[in-house]
Structure 1
Amino acid sequence: MSQHFLLSPAAKTLSLVKVMRMSEAEARTAFRKIRWTETEGEPICPECGCVDHYDLKTRQVYKCKGCAKQFSITSGTIFASRKLQVRDILAAIAIFINGAKGYSALQLSRDLGVDYKTAFVLLHKVRESIETARNAGALSGNIEVDGAYFGGYVKPANEKKDRKDRRKKVHQSGKRQSVIVMRERGGRTLTYVTSTEAEGVALVAANVEHGATVHADEASHWDKLAAYFPIKRINHQEAYSKDGACTNQAESFFSRLRRAEVGTHHHIAGKYLGAYAAEMAWREDTNRQANGHQFAMAIGAVAAAPVSRQWCGYWQRRA
């Protein structure tokens, strides 16, 4: 019996111990080399692009010789105006990477000894960075599409005589949302959050190249895709895979997302569902890559991501 990839030595090239043993100076040097690869770690002014600068001795910042603006190694990135040390940020990302089913903000706050809200924002900034860095463009080849509903649970009444039919809209909370997934076999995964699964038809038409083969289940709203693509259907009441048609990779994504919701986070607020779905899509796409490579990808995404407009006002209750 072959060994699962996650159990093999090839999957474990990242050591959290090594990250935590780094000094702050070593962590800053590592981050500089990742952010400014073209100059081998020499700072570049985020305002004017000048490479000439002064090192201020009173603070760990630089002063540009071109525009006289002061900047730090995280200025202009998603971690601008940070308070945590760079080593702690690298450690948080390493911990995040090693959580195969995700990592909760509560647990990270305990690991780093920081406030829960600090850990919550930090993890969401990492998720936003990864989503921003992912390759854009239409999907091609064989594409599996599916949708699943999350949230909006209404607890039934204690006594049977008082219970309502929760399938009817009048008895629902209105918070239920659908996650639409499009998985390119051997490629990328795209996710969207909509009110109903039927809205996924237009999203598939907009994000899949013409000529690609679409695989979908027996839900009637996917019938409209036949006007855009060659389509293969699978009836899950008969089989999970038949005559080359299946949506098993899409189902694998939903399995990972539901395990993260139930087993790791326990609750995902509706407005953050898209961020968690994007994270799980990235984890699915990279699940056969070593954690050291995943860590390098995440650090590179963080170093390249601009200042977050969603999370910059979280402490002022604007997020």
Structure 2
Amino acid sequence: MSEHKLPTTLQEAIKYFSDPQRTFDFVIALRWPQGPVCPRCQSLEHRFIKTRSIWACKSCQKQYSVKVGTIFEDSAIKLDKWMCAMWMMVNAKNGISSYEIHRSLGVTQKTAWFMMHRIRLVLQNGSLDRKLTGEVEADETYIGGKARNMHKDKKQKALKAEGYFRKAVVMGMLERDGEVRTKVLNVASAKVLAREIRANVEPGSTLYTDQLASYTRVGQEYAHHVINHAQEYVRGNVHTNGIENVWSLLKRGIKGTYVSVEPFHLFRYLDEQSFRFNTRKSNDQGRFISALSSIQGKRVEYKDLIGQTKI
């Protein structure tokens, strides 16, 4: 699959994937560079049933399509629409709503919403096999609830009470000039914040936080620098502007694009925003290929996505 022949813009992507056979061949080449592999028994022996565009495994006798074992499995939506939906979603700086996907691709809003949640599964691509190193900023923010403008000096009380004002607590750690990691917390106590920092930040790294007392003890394990936002926001190289920019992008997407996000799904939107941030140095084509390369072994059912309360 020659990269220079692939689309580089949305307009080119729509044209490129309008050819069903080319789309089919594209997904096959990306998923199985060495040829189709049975997703059930991993056998390379098969025969292709051209009339149905499926393979029959000679080892386990099962039939499979290019969608089996991916986020596309059991979906009646054709691959061309999946490709365009993914392109639009990963390359929209502030996110894109299910209503926009619905209008652009001619699917129902319900179908678009479900497609987007499936796509979010492939955006969970953080490098969790390594810890963040060097200069790392850590901060927490609050999504939803009535106390949207809670002052910084009131946070300590909020951190000790799970579900305070029904606000979701989100923690983030940003490796400067590197990737960001985010996580929804049930409660952001000093113990929980310390646990997340230890799990994600290499000991001895330089840690930048605000003046929240919850960071004091864990900060002793790092080269800890504190910025007091009541007095200043930048002191030389000491600041948390990077992670706060991540929060700004996240909230802009939630409030401006999605309007409301159910607490049960918040981690999925964090994955989406983190993916776009972590691939910010890639072009649209590279971001699309990066997402598409993770389609295997991931699937969510509609029943798992419904029935929660909005914040």
TM-score category by the smaller chain? Answer: 0.7 to 0.9
Q: Does the alignment pair 1:314 with 2:306? A: no
Query: Deviations 1:90-124 (Å, cap 9, x if unpaired)?
Result: 01111112311111112111111112221112111
- Whichever residue aligns with residue 16 of structure 1, its letter is L
Number of the residue aligned with 1:6: none
Q: Secondary structure at the match of 1:246?
A: coil
Gaps in structure 1 of 5+ consecutive residues: 1-12, 156-166
Whole-angstrom distance in 1 between the partners of 2:203 and 2:77: 47
Q: Does the alignment pair 1:245 with 2:238? A: yes
Number of the residue aligned with 1:56: 49
Whole-angstrom distance in 1 between the partners of 2:229 and 2:165: 28
Whole-angstrom distance in 1 between the partners of 2:206 and 2:288: 33
C-alpha contact 2:147 2:165 (8 A) present in aligned 1: no
- Size of the aligned set, in residue pairs, is 287
Deviation at 1:76, TM superposition (A): 0.9
User: Pairwise mapping of residues 1-319 of structure 1 onto structure 2 (< 5 A)?
Assistant: 14-21=8-15, 22-37=18-33, 39=34, 42-131=35-124, 133-136=125-128, 137-153=130-146, 174-198=165-189, 199-302=192-295, 304=296, 306-308=297-299, 311-314=300-303, 317=306
Deviation at 1:175, TM superposition (A): 2.3
Q: Secondary structure at the match of 1:197?
A: coil
C-alpha contact 2:9 2:284 (8 A) present in aligned 1: no
Whole-angstrom distance in 2 between the partners of 1:49 and 1:248: 47
Number of the residue aligned with 1:163: none
Q: Secondary structure at the match of 1:222?
A: helix
Query: Deviations 1:197-243 (Å, cap 9, x if unpaired)?
Result: 33322211222111111100011111122232120111122222213
Whole-angstrom distance in 2 between the partners of 1:73 and 1:299: 13
Deviation at 1:18, TM superposition (A): 2.5
Q: Secondary structure at the match of 2:94?
A: coil
Whole-angstrom distance in 1 between the partners of 2:305 and 2:178: 39
Whole-angstrom distance in 2 between the partners of 1:301 and 1:55: 24
Whole-angstrom distance in 2 between the partners of 1:148 and 1:226: 19
Deviation at 1:260, TM superposition (A): 0.2
The TM-score normalised by the length of structure 1 is: 0.83
Identity of aligned residues (%): 26
* 1:315–1:237 Cα change, 3 Å: closer
Whole-angstrom distance in 1 between the partners of 2:258 and 2:24: 31
C-alpha contact 1:14 1:291 (8 A) present in aligned 2: yes
Whole-angstrom distance in 1 between the partners of 2:305 and 2:174: 37
Whole-angstrom distance in 1 between the partners of 2:105 and 2:144: 30
Number of the residue aligned with 2:153: none
Deviation at 1:149, TM superposition (A): 0.6
Q: Secondary structure at the match of 2:301?
A: coil
Whole-angstrom distance in 1 between the partners of 2:237 and 2:11: 45
Whole-angstrom distance in 2 between the partners of 1:259 and 1:174: 21
